[in-house]
Structure 1
Amino acid sequence: MKRLIVAGLALAALASAPARAEEVKELNFGFISTESSANLAKSFEPLLKDLEKAIGVPVKPFFVGDYAGVIEGMRFKKVDIGWFGNKSAMEAVDRANGEVFVKTAKPDGSSGYYSLIVTNVDRNDINDLKDVLDCSKGYNFGNGDPNSTSGFLVPSYYVFALNNVDPNKCYKRVVTSNHEGNLLAVANKQVDFATNNTENVSRLQATRPEEAKKIKEVWRSPMIAGDPIVWRKDLPADLKAKIYTFFMTYGRNGTPEEVAHAREVLAKTSDGWGPFLASSDAQLLPIRQLELFKTRVKVEKDEKISADDKAAQLKKIDAQLADLEAQQKKLPAM
């Protein structure tokens, strides 16, 4: 009986053990929907081909209509690795067994970008945040995907929560779209202003320069960390080692011809990238703080909550914020 039990436990352990790289027949690479699938495919195809060649496993793009689809794709193991924003990466880490391992950077080695509020260049009546927050004008507002860092989370806090403004009550109409959709809506005067970011404005300048000329920036956020690349934690360790090696050496190591090729590919990916930088889930700590700050502001200003209830909720949030602050202090600069 003991032998049977031991044998059964051994088989169970073997069945639950992570697969090896050679057992993975295909790697699905997910993309947050910042623009149309056709544009994303064209932009990222050379990078995916080089990744496929380096790891010896076919790499297939995975496109869906919104950020939530990529998060859910990772949760149900239809996405193995993906390009995320910080907010969507946080959701992938918390809900889909994801893990940040590298982040994007610019050709000069810097990493980071900014959330924006943009309007049409012809709008002389919209020039700064005060104009954006004028609820008497009946404006039409283009908001971003709820899982977008720059299109939703950052402006939700810095623009609206801190100024005690609810967009749904302030504006005549609020429409939701991806970054490209919001830029085109502003350029074509379909909305009065919209959220966006410096990366996608740069990309529009390269892909649709005439429309880009119609865009005017009226608000800019503090810097946001570069986009995280996230993999499923349960991928085979030897496959993760190959993937990590590819990302950390791409555009850095190899023959001069190989480095030049990789740099050219990166320069044409998204809004123009340089070699990737090492990262981890710690990159998401400021985003977690931002979410909590936003919640704190909402609770603090909610007149429907009793004083005791409010005090208890704020105490809990402050403890969580203090814990995140302590975690950040322990980390080296990223």
Structure 2
Amino acid sequence: MQASVLCASLVVAVSRPDRFRAGAARVAAWMLRAGLALALGWQLGAAAQAAGGAEAAAGTAVRFGILPLGGAFESRNDWEPLLADLQRAIGRPVTMLSVTSYEALEQAIQRDQVDMAFLSGKMALDAVTLRRMKVVAQVTRHDGLPGYRALLLTRKSGPRTTLKELLAEPEGWRLARGESRSVSGFIVPQLQLFLPNHIAMETRFRSEVVGTHQVTALAVANGEADVATNNTADFERFRLQFPAEADRLQVIWESELIPHAQIVIRRGYGPEFEKKVQLFLVEYARGKGPRGDSERAVLKSLHDLAGFVAADNSSLLPAAKLAYQLARQSTMTSQWVNEAARQARLQRIEATYAEQVAALRSGAP
């Protein structure tokens, strides 16, 4: 680890432990993570704590937040080489905030403790429309597809293995899912599968575990849950890291394509700095020779990424549409005091979506 070059920090957090309702194993897992959080603390480091706002003078650390796709330690180690290269390219220190929950990263962004971040869908949309950030790049993968797919996983053998059985009696199933901000772990399965079948993920299942894609897959593989949300990119990675556990699992449902994650940066750095960051990302791993090979190896460890392409806020239009569709469908299937209240809610959803679309297209957020 290049500790002298890159000051890495780690936050271990648990999202909504009250959701871990069933099973001593899940309670024990929560206690383990909570204990780890207390042991590690919030180690942002003196440089990061002194950074202040995005308008800080040149030389102040740029604080990079990482979307929790696997374990926090794993994410930190995977991102460290790329962020060390970014530090050299921009001539400023780069510190890292690696967390285990979407909520922890969202809170850090709200508290202005993150200047750049790797975010997907809803979190990137909120960062741009609510937290004065903007998109500078979007990731690409070797398969050439413009996105990935959400998945549902079950064990290959056992009493509950098929989609038909799941939709017929969700009350008998134990669910392992992503946080409510997770596109593939919650939003898309809810929107494209469960709500159309009159199933609300939060209330219809026997019990639920909420965690990263790695946590959800392991929960099903180890018999702690019956079905898990996941996605094609992370399940490929899971197969490499946990081959024995992956061999116990099968895919019973796939979603439509979901756009890839974005790199966002806090507004206020200025166009020259933004262009420097964007150029670094776009050119990363594109060169020939040993340096290019080394950078490609770095990206391969980052969920098998192929690289980055230049992007702006308009790349979040699909995410805005997904959020709009989920809000509308949830409103249509929920119980209301009267129809007038439902229609009022629908009107607010339409107005919010129209404002988001206009802002994302103009670059105004």
**Which TM-score tier does this pair reach, normalised by the shorter chain?**
0.7 to 0.9
Aligned to 1:227: 261
Which residue identity lines up with residue 261 of structure 1 in the other structure? S
Q: Give the SS at the match of 2:157.
A: coil
Structure 1 position 200, deviation (Å): 0.9
Is 2:95 the counterpart of 1:60?
yes
Q: 1:102 aligns with which of 133, 137, 160?
A: 137
Q: Contact 1:160–1:167 at 8 Å: present in 2 too?
A: yes
Q: Contact 2:181–2:187 at 8 Å: present in 1 too?
A: yes
Which residue identity lines up with residue 93 of structure 2 in the other structure? P
Q: Give the SS at the match of 1:25.
A: coil
Structure 1 position 224, deviation (Å): 0.5
Q: Contact 1:32–1:83 at 8 Å: present in 2 too?
A: yes
Aligned to 2:67: 32
Q: Contact 1:292–1:321 at 8 Å: present in 2 too?
A: yes
In structure 1, distance between residues paired with 2:171 and 2:183 = 27
In structure 2, distance between residues paired with 1:60 and 1:256 = 28
Distance 1:299 1:218, change over 3 A: same
Is 2:165 the counterpart of 1:131?
yes
Which residue identity lines up with residue 233 of structure 2 in the other structure? E
TM-score where L is the length of structure 1: 0.84
Q: Contact 2:65–2:96 at 8 Å: present in 1 too?
A: yes
Aligned to 1:293: 325
Deviating more after overlay: 186-195 vs 31-40: 31-40
In structure 2, distance between residues paired with 1:203 and 1:182 = 13
Aligned to 2:155: 120
Distance 1:319 1:98, change over 3 A: closer
Q: Contact 2:59–2:91 at 8 Å: present in 1 too?
A: no
Q: Contact 2:320–2:357 at 8 Å: present in 1 too?
A: no
In structure 2, distance between residues paired with 1:214 and 1:206 = 14
In structure 2, distance between residues paired with 1:221 and 1:108 = 17
Q: Give the SS at the match of 1:189.
A: coil
Is 2:292 the counterpart of 1:259?
yes
Which residue identity lines up with residue 284 of structure 2 in the other structure? Y
In structure 2, distance between residues paired with 1:262 and 1:158 = 37
Q: Which structure 2 residues correspond to residues 129-168 of structure 1 after superposition, within 5 A? A: 130-135=164-169, 138-168=172-202
In structure 2, distance between residues paired with 1:206 and 1:290 = 30
Displacement over 6 Å in runs of 4+? 322-328
Structure 1 position 179, deviation (Å): 0.9
Q: 1:84 aligns with which of 119, 124, 135?
A: 119
In structure 2, distance between residues paired with 1:172 and 1:227 = 32
Structure 1 position 267, deviation (Å): 1.7
Structure 1 position 259, deviation (Å): 2.2
Q: Give the SS at the match of 1:78.
A: coil
Aligned to 1:183: 217
Structure 1 position 256, deviation (Å): 3.0
Q: 2:251 aligns with which of 190, 195, 217?
A: 217
Aligned to 1:281: 313
Q: Contact 2:155–2:248 at 8 Å: present in 1 too?
A: yes
Structure 1 position 181, deviation (Å): 0.5
Deviating more after overlay: 99-108 vs 219-228: 99-108
In structure 1, distance between residues paired with 2:324 and 2:285 = 37
Q: Which of these two proteins has the greater Rg computed from alpha carbons? A: 1
Aligned to 2:6: none
Which residue identity lines up with residue 129 of structure 2 in the other structure? D
Structure 1 position 115, deviation (Å): 0.7
Distance 1:195 1:123, change over 3 A: same
Aligned to 2:24: none
Structure 1 position 315, deviation (Å): 4.4
Q: 2:236 aligns with which of 159, 177, 202?
A: 202
In structure 1, distance between residues paired with 2:332 and 2:196 = 11
Q: Deviation digits for residues 198-218 of structure 1, max 9, x if unmatched? A: 111011122222222222111
TM-score where L is the length of structure 2: 0.77
Deviating more after overlay: 65-74 vs 221-230: 65-74
Q: Deviation digits for residues 23-62 of structure 1, max 9, x if unmatched? A: 2321211112222111112222221121112112222210
Q: Contact 1:85–1:227 at 8 Å: present in 2 too?
A: yes
Q: 2:207 aligns with which of 173, 176, 183?
A: 173
Q: Give the SS at the match of 1:33.
A: coil
Distance 1:325 1:51, change over 3 A: closer
- CA-atom RMSD in angstroms: 2.6
Q: Contact 1:71–1:96 at 8 Å: present in 2 too?
A: no
Q: How many corresponding residue pairs? A: 310
In structure 1, distance between residues paired with 2:92 and 2:270 = 13
Distance 1:202 1:231, change over 3 A: same
In structure 2, distance between residues paired with 1:77 and 1:25 = 14
Structure 1 position 326, deviation (Å): 8.1
List alignment gaps of at least 5 residues for structure 2. 1-52
Q: Give the SS at the match of 2:92.
A: coil
